[in-house]
Amino acid sequence: MRTDEIIVVLFGLLVILPLFGFYLHYMNRVYVHDVSGDAIRVRLFGLVTLRKVSLKDIETIEVVRRLELPDPTVMFHAEQWPGKPFAEEGILVRKRTGISRTLLMSPDNPRSFVELVNRRLTRDTKGDRLNN
């Protein structure tokens, strides 16, 4: 091997490979999904809100497997907010209004996230019935 080939290989091993590992490890912390107040929020590093979906605007929310989507075209027209880059399960949110009515998200624990949103939705609808 020539000297420049050795330098390229060493550069790849010492710089590129650790950066890729760093990316894989911390990618799930870039987009943080949470349910706060009356909305689902997607935050950048948990600090800045990038996307907010009102709970009243949610038509349906369900856990889906990436490879078994109910409608395969969803991958092309939905807003995608990955929390985990290679997650097998994610959340499909269908909204009542807006230009983009479908969102795909992948929070840390999709099933508990959907349960939490559904609890908030049922609590809100019971509160609305009591007020009327």
Q: Which contiguous run of DSSP H or E holds residue 62?
A: strand 58-65
Give the pLDDT confidence of 78-115 residue by residue, as tens digits. Answer: 888 887 767 788 899 999 998 888 898 888 889 999 99
Give the model's pLDDT for residue 131.
47
The residue type at 35? V
**pTM exceeds cut of 0.75:** no
Give the model's pLDDT for residue 127.
58
Task: Assign a CATH topology to domain 3-131.
Answer: PH-domain like (2.30.29)
Neighbours of 125 (CB within 10 A): 12
Give the model's pLDDT for residue 132.
45
Give the model's pLDDT for residue 67.
74
Provide the token pair at 73: 């075209």
Q: Where are the domains of the chain?
A: 3-131
80 against 52, higher pLDDT: 52
